[in-house]
Structure 1
């Protein structure tokens, strides 16, 4: 696993020590010696409460849901006691909520190759978002009665389809598609639902796949239980002075595979409680180090001050800075409350300099985007420029934290949909809003927005990041949601589904269009995700439009740092596509270090007739174009060995473009791009999963709920689960770990058994033979 800081930064070290006591802070309590490292979630705790028994079958329940809530909280004595007593070894549901994707190393940030080269690479971005927000309805997914959360009638499938479960069978969810700007991703929830202490594992997976950190949330924890009995609150200490809940929090992060917590305390506390809470935070950091966790961060919210008052400072000052002092709270960063202006920004940066801290690592100015459309519209255009001026017109002073932009993104998208009752119309409207939010009003991250005109996107403030620094690199443009599922270009399921954890690495730039040739097009073509057809997964990349008097147009897609020589081997790049555009030629575009942003274009698909008449300088690279069976897809392979001889260093970006194949004929463009695969060497094979078994099942009439487990396969990218019947297969799930839950497995007629197969897929997309197990229907 990559080093904690290098995975999200370009070499900036952790903040400097604050250099002694900060004025107005009570003396910090001494932290007791950290407990010896032991198996996670051992039988520690004063209550001796029995751990919940493993569920025999049915939908796995999120950690803590056995306490009557859909997710863990630490807001009551009972919840604290249950958290202390909980043991994953005795919880049959726990393994279904583990992340299996390590954090990928990000490639160096290079200003010259950015969509907006003037942007500084130092500011960071944190986001706090709801998981799987419904597109069509904001009705309460849970109702409260008798102190228990129960599923609302209109969402009776919620446990499998929303927020707390990693995947399910629905399209009525918002799946974020842009991850190139985010460094920290934290959970949040609708106001009527508990904020998840443990992040959804699918969101951990997608954050890690894109090189970002994932935080859980410690929200309004109990610190002052009845009658002063601190044994029931989060500050409980055992006979040796160890902070038991702090240990459990670290162990939970280790077990479930996430990277720390956002500490959201919006309540007052006594001076003693403040001192104890600071010691609690220091102890948690020390315990994480004892367990050798590669990543464990704490981020403090600007609510509780070191005097014990609930007072939002809206700036970094002596009342809240000690929380990020290693000698006091030892939190890695602070989220400053939203009510700031130029004076608070100036005060904060000046104060940070006096303390010698790295303001980009440690100081995040919060922008509230959840509460109203006005907040959503003005957050980036009015507030963000005070911290990170656009166009590089002045130096940035700190980092940004965006609170729940998905909420208004979905609400405003729904309000602007042509038919607010149509899932397809609402989804299209929401994703158009998502494009504006990240890439600005133009939808092109390279086109600078204007704060005055309120046309800015995140791309006007934060430099794009990428993890594409080694072979193989494979993307199928699978967004993680669909109404169908495809494998090898063929439909293998017609059931709706979602799983953001199965999302591929999507384009860095959505959508940076560039002209090809001196009179090339600009805006004649459109790029978008198309969920009506896919080569693998639920979607593909669609390039469409009309090229008439212009020569051509392309889209820069991926920022990369891929070597041109791999132990003496030159890489190859495959592009898998379908098209009805006979008069249009598909081009692969590459940039190289040393050549700046100049794209080398390589014709790879369709007729090259008339290309010389267009006067374009195209690379002379051997290509091979072949059909793929009966699916209608074709794969074009570019052997870039010749470019490797003529160039040096690395491939710095990958683009696709389209030009007219005939100078005298207009071109109606319709390309579906199903896969880009960059590799060096032959296929990478992995073995079939061993130890496959049905852990539990529940059969109701002609349908079954099935829990599967197997032994993890070294170097597997992911696993696909199918029901098998002769040579036919029907897709059931795609997961990253060593277990899967299947909901609604249908019996085929009067069959006595259904054969279930699990295949492992290697990093270059090569599928193993399946391991199989039979479900008996009686």
Structure 2
């Protein structure tokens, strides 16, 4: 949450302290002499240990003078070792970066092979950013991965730490959708507590002339499972010698990172002469950094002429112009931001550059404090799709040029089995097979499903119903898709662009119900794509049943007999007479079923009693074979189960445990969950009271 006492980035720019300093970047204590290398934490007297794991953050080497604030740990990256990091098992991403493809766009303005989109997102404060979600549904649960090419886990402050490793839930969700995630190296302006010694620490050489912190950054990214670094050097006062060293450092970082499959994005701030001067263009003062890195974020000071010349210069350097991200600052005003879109993504000629959103979590932050998940997703859909809320109907007259109107969407639905329960990664409750197994709010992006990329393409000759993620009920997870309205003609809702093989025995399962009806449901199946952008998907329709209002959840199994080749798209067609409320809770494409193997070695590694109850750290050995994620339940004295949480990792922290009446010890079970949401037998452990 933005701290109201801290000025926004825009006010900082106006004040003359330019740079990408966010409202989350709280000015730290005045810089002083180099501190000891050991971690330093706030001392507030005896207290139970906080066993909750948090995302990792560091200073390059020397630490600030004084004492860190409450809950903040000052760490040196130079002294970090993976084997000594007790939080690493909670922070290591588990989902590999998926390959994705580009289907034919649903409108004639979106293009493939040209501009791409980057987002700089601050999901939480630098310190105390939970490693595995939190007990609240109020979270920036990003879902429009289909339009993103790079996510930067943004943050850093002089009072907390300058180098941030992304937390595992964000990386796992992004990777499931084919989006690489970068950590941040932020060297803040002096106005924000920056000290040039931290820049010098970063680029220090050892006695052999090597850059030990470049090696550490590669080690951190590899150990944590993310994809590279966003390097933002904005501390003023440098000289040509420092500029030369920084360039050599970035070159070494990229060379080391390339061998590990990592990428580096440079922020347009420090120039080759070592001074900080935001160019707003690719020019002779920053082009060496661009040539050395994989891409560059062009500062917000750009002009149309500057972007045009940047694209030309990139080509002269033998680089792709779309490796330049033109900054678009939406932190303060979101879709109300006045942007010269024709300077970046003109409609009448090739796109000029790619672009990078700074702080698109505005879609959550601008809402009232009592915002709901549904309100957030409605705002987020408008940001990414446009006011029409339908990518097939781009708003030509809107001042906001949403990504869906300019950039072709992508999909990772390429292999069997494929299943989704339309879980957005947060919710007001947790559901299993339509039953509430926890009534607590939660968020954990690592549990997010692959969601429909085109939200929401609706084809009908009649009135268009409303389509949304809904949190009032779900089949599994925290959300479902709700189609509601008065139907006076058949309605087709596009769901997924796919590249799935069609072989004998392939079936599609729809788990759905009618809250108001009746409604006749057909599965929409396409084995070829539209002939050109903007044309409707050439679906064929297979009956999936007629649902009566209030009849409860049911699963329809649709056999794809008579279809051959490759499954290219899936949707549903609904026919009703009058008011309809159709809820879709799950979709699966499979040839068979498989139950994952049981995890083993479940054990409690640490425990602590606090005012909130008992907290436990648990570890286990991964189940052999493919696993989507793990789920933890508490076994209740009467034999029931209560959902405690889920994770893609093999470590989890449970908090707030208290004895149930008559309970001598709390029994916790862990199950592996497969791609079809079938669960393994449980491994269990007991913590005695």
1:561–1:651 CA contact under 8 A, matched in 2: yes
Is 1:718 the equivalent of 2:625?
no
TM-score normalised by structure 2 residue count: 0.85
Partner of 1:166: 132
Q: Partner of 1:545: helix, strand, or coil?
A: strand
Q: Alignment partner of 2:467: what SS?
A: strand
Confirm whether residue 511 of structure 1 aligns to residue 478 of structure 2. Answer: no
Q: Which of 577, 597, 603 is the aligned partner of 2:512?
A: 577
Residue 279 of structure 1 aligns to a residue whose secondary structure is: helix
User: For the residues of structure 2 that align with 1:266 and 1:554, how far apart are their CA atoms?
Assistant: 50
* Residues 401-459 of structure 1 deviation map (CA, whole Å, 9 limit, x = unaligned): 1111213x2344x2xxxxx45343xx444332211111101111111223x53253111
2:100 to 81, 97, 106: 106
Cα displacement (A) at 1:226: 13
Q: Does the C-alpha gap of structure 1 residues 214 and 226 become closer, same or farther in structure 2, counting only changes over 3 Å?
A: closer
8 Å CA contact retained: 1:588, 1:657: yes
Residues 587/52 of structure 1: CA separation in 2 closer, same or farther (3 Å cut): farther
CA contact (8 A) 1:60 1:96 kept: no
CA offset at residue 581 of structure 1? Answer: 4.0
Deviations 1:339-369 (A, max 9, x none): 2222112211121222221112x21111111
User: Which residue number corresponds to residue 394 of structure 2?
Assistant: 448
> Is the CA contact 1:528–1:543 (under 8 Å) kept in the aligned structure 2?
yes
Stretches of structure 2 that go unaligned for 5 or more consecutive residues are 1-33, 42-46, 65-72, 532-536
Q: Distance in 2 between matches of 1:631 and 1:490?
A: 15
Structure 2 residue 82 is matched with structure 1 residue 88:
yes
Partner of 1:386: 343
1:332-351 to 2 correspondences below 5 Å: 332-351=294-313
Q: Is the 8 A contact 2:377 2:469 kept in 1?
A: no
| Residue 467 (structure 2) aligned to one of 527, 539, 542 | 527
**Residues 753 and 774 in structure 1, CA contact (< 8 A), matched pair in contact too:** yes
Q: Distance in 1 between matches of 2:525 and 2:176?
A: 23
Counterpart of 1:589?
A: 524
- CA 1:236–1:410 in 2, change beyond 3 Å: closer, same or farther? same
Once residues 230 and 92 of structure 1 are traced to their aligned partners in structure 2, the CA distance between those partners, rounded to angstroms, is: 26
Provide the residue aligned with 2:221 in structure 1: 253
Closer/same/farther in 2, CA of residues 534 and 193 from structure 1, 3 Å limit: farther
CA distance 1:522–1:201, change in 2 (3 Å): same
Shift of the alpha carbon at 1:47?
A: 11
Summarize the alignment of residues 110-149 of structure 1 with structure 2, pairs less than 5 Å apart: 110=103, 112-116=104-108, 119-131=111-123
Query: Which residue in the other structure is 2:665 paired with?
Result: 753
Residue matched to 2:240: 271
Match of 1:62? 54
The match for 1:621 is none
Check the 8 A contact 2:107/2:394 in 1, yes or no: no
Question: Is the Cα–Cα contact under 8 Å of residues 523 and 572 in structure 2 kept in the other structure?
Answer: yes
1:196-242 deviations in whole A, cap 9, x for unaligned? Answer: 6111221111111110010111001799x999989971112222222
SS of corresponding position for 1:286 = helix
Asked whether the equivalents of residues 631 and 647 of structure 2 are also in contact (C-alpha less than 8 Å), the reply is yes
Q: How does 1:150-549 map to 2 (within 5 A)?
A: 159=128, 163-189=129-155, 197-220=164-187, 233-268=201-236, 269-289=238-258, 292-293=259-260, 295-325=261-291, 330-360=292-322, 362-370=323-331, 372-373=332-333, 376-379=335-338, 382-390=339-347, 393-407=348-362, 409-412=363-366, 414=367, 420=368, 422-424=370-372, 427-450=373-396, 452-515=397-460, 520-523=461-464, 525-547=465-487
What is the rounded CA distance, in whole Å, between the counterparts of 2:444 and 2:404 in structure 1?
Answer: 26
Q: How many residues align?
A: 631
Relative to structure 1, the CA distance from residue 592 to residue 86 in structure 2 (aligned partners, 3 Å threshold; closer, same or farther) is: same
**1:57 to partner: Cα distance:** 5.6
Q: Judge conservation of contact 2:97–2:176 (CA < 8 Å) in 1.
A: yes
Does 1:689 find its partner at 2:599? yes
TM-aligned CA deviation for residue 56 of structure 1: 9.5
Contact 1:261–1:297 (Cα < 8 Å) also in 2: yes
Which one is further off, 305-314 or 178-187?
Answer: 305-314
Show the counterpart of 2:649: 737
What is the CA deviation profile of residues 653-705 of structure 1, one whole-angstrom value per residue up to 9, with x for unaligned ones? 11122113xxxxx232122111000112x212221101110111123479321
Cα distance, 1:454–1:606 mapped onto 2, change above 3 Å: same
Superimposed CA distance per residue, residues 69-89 of structure 1 (whole angstroms, 9 cap, x where no aligned partner): xx4344854699721112232
Inter-CA distance 96–643: structure 2 relative to 1 (3 Å threshold): same
**CA offset at residue 49 of structure 1?**
5.2
Query: 1:135 is matched with which residue?
Result: none
